[in-house]
Structure 1
């Protein structure tokens, strides 16, 4: 979420109703323009804090239509960082025609990735006036499968990463024009935008519409301390150089297994950017830990999933020497913490009227526990010492319980 201004006074901010009515109408109009003569029915809204998504029936096909307003998250927009609704509408008319719009780049990335040598991704059905339509991909997600077959955690997690091998190879960055990258979904870039030097008001307002005053005060204090530590830890990370690509938005709910767990998965919603494969591993681990903490599946399943995550990390670092593994693990854990803090604070800053996905609502419910976790592990990382990974797993298990 881009934070380039303090939140506007409530009376001048766009409302959820204004944004949703406009976005739904644009999706309907775009579908009618692409497929004239076909009946168009907007079936069900899909809760999201980034763009507006609606399942649509166009003739006999089920599609997902998504629109982005000014390329920023709905949370940012509804906080008033782009001005009043009339101001936003005027700017949106121009934004929809820009060749570098967020969803124009996403559609281009999906087409690039649809090459037979690349990962399996959801097909683009159409694009018009800033609205992208993708084919529905039925089947269980990685989240669903992890919770019912936790003993296969490492194997299941390896499958989307295996799909990304063509992107993770040196030289893969040549496939993507730098102007076509989606840097908005970068873990470190998002952290820098959210928690820049002028973000005090943003942090002060966290949980304003979701938490009681005592919980809010604790969360704000924990976030401030964690941001301070993570800024220092981020300075120790390797420079984001190299010639490989990262998928950029690899999350368990974006990995679908239409033919079951023993077949290749399909990946949704890319955010390709030039970066290390570590970016994809870190986000996948971060969001899987969120699944554990918000679903709380019980001690036995939690232990199995955490054991699978540990084995996955060990396997990924298997080619490194003992001396190299320590900074590698520090890098991975730092990115995990940054991503966890990014998404937790996004959900906490959402207006109460904005429908949240199930995971988002659960994150808000367990926000204090998540902030305590980030606070404790970031302190561990700064202190150093052996056993960083084991201590982190132990802390996750405690919170998930």
Structure 2
């Protein structure tokens, strides 16, 4: 395997076992410090490529505990981008004390959102030594409801976006301290971190090295390489970031829970508030819903109903615009969608073989060639400034991939 900025030599990397054992011990120790005398039981690890997450029982309460290593993804950490395990552990001691650490900002965001009256978010019940504890939220997720009630897709997708209206209003950015935003969750910002600079070519070249067979991997690498080049050009056409609105930043269907059932208000998990256009939230919701379809591969009727609901959502969001403005809006939305799709798909592909992936991630690795082909074809359409009917063609292509 080629060695470079993207991947450190195997002997210099932290191992999954080292990272997981350390994180589990931190969680147990933090819980014991916050709730002394209460029994603490680490129930079940929750696979993630970003941070280490564990379901925890403290006395008679079920909580979720999350840790972050140096504010970077587990994939990057395990690839050796921050050095050996000894170096990481030393740096982590300092990082856990920083007031601007990733999870310290997440806790601050959850507490700030709880005081707004909307959106409803999970409750922070403790924070200690870089470990955040949140209440478990029972109920079906948006992904489960979409499969169960595909004919109500438009209505179901509107629910979390309606919850975000207080953030999407002009002036909302004043509710959050500038130091509290999570630019790490920006779609375009993440795309540039991954695919700009000297390390980008090496990163793309090594995609899937530990998870995908050779011929498929070569196809995926070429598709990503071409798509990245197109999306760099399309990024220049995106509107500048507005100064006064907030985006939730990490709006994913699996993180939208309906504790009172499909007719009740949803509760949102894992915020990543940033100063950005509301389109960011629409694009992330669109991207992750499409990936969930590709991963789950429901029957064709269900796929078409969900895609029709996505189209209704997009039309409703752009209904007040002129025909020319609507075409530009759709192009911007699809550009962000493709960027986010490449961002998360390549993260799963670059994960070391020993890192457990969530069900969605494993399914996307297995169908990476189809996902990357979809990104390639739609980005080629977007690269043609005279292309018409982009939305309809895109929906048809998603339906083919999800079949």
TM-score (norm 1): 0.98
2:91 maps to 1:91: yes
| 2:223 corresponding residue in structure 1 | 222
2:163 maps to 1:163: yes
| 1:173 corresponding residue in structure 2 | 173
2:144 maps to 1:144: yes
Match among 387, 390, 396 for residue 388 of structure 1: 390
Shift of 1:241: 2.1
Shift of 1:6: 2.6
Moved over 6 A (4+): none
- Counterparts of 1:31-110 in structure 2, within 5 Å, are 31-110=31-110
SS in 1 for 2:42: strand
The separation in 2 between residues aligned to 1:350 and 1:179, in whole angstroms, is 30
Shift of 1:5: 3.5
- Counterparts of 1:123-142 in structure 2, within 5 Å, are 123-142=123-142
Shift of 1:11: 1.3
Q: Bigger CA drift: 337-346 or 380-389? A: 380-389
Shift of 1:300: 0.3
The separation in 1 between residues aligned to 2:222 and 2:12, in whole angstroms, is 29
SS in 2 for 1:381: helix
| 1:323 corresponding residue in structure 2 | 324
2:356 maps to 1:373: no
2:211 maps to 1:210: yes
2:118 maps to 1:115: no
The separation in 2 between residues aligned to 1:11 and 1:196, in whole angstroms, is 27
Shift of 1:116: 4.7
TM-score (norm 2): 0.98
Shift of 1:117: 2.1
| Post-superposition CA distance 1:300-338 (Å, at most 9, x none) | 000100000001100000111112101100000000000
| 1:352 corresponding residue in structure 2 | 353
| 1:312 corresponding residue in structure 2 | 313
| 2:295 corresponding residue in structure 1 | 294
| 2:286 corresponding residue in structure 1 | 285
Shift of 1:383: 1.2
Shift of 1:240: 1.1
The separation in 1 between residues aligned to 2:117 and 2:357, in whole angstroms, is 36
| Post-superposition CA distance 1:323-356 (Å, at most 9, x none) | 2101100000000000000000000000111000
| 2:362 corresponding residue in structure 1 | 361
Any stretches of 5+ residues in structure 2 without a counterpart?
none
The separation in 2 between residues aligned to 1:335 and 1:155, in whole angstroms, is 22
The separation in 1 between residues aligned to 2:266 and 2:147, in whole angstroms, is 17
2:251 maps to 1:245: no
| Post-superposition CA distance 1:195-243 (Å, at most 9, x none) | 1122111111100011111001000000000000000000110011230
> What value does the CA root-mean-square deviation take over the aligned residues?
0.8
| 1:12 corresponding residue in structure 2 | 12
The separation in 2 between residues aligned to 1:144 and 1:245, in whole angstroms, is 27
The separation in 1 between residues aligned to 2:50 and 2:75, in whole angstroms, is 7
- Counterparts of 1:253-264 in structure 2, within 5 Å, are 253-264=254-265
| 1:400 corresponding residue in structure 2 | 402
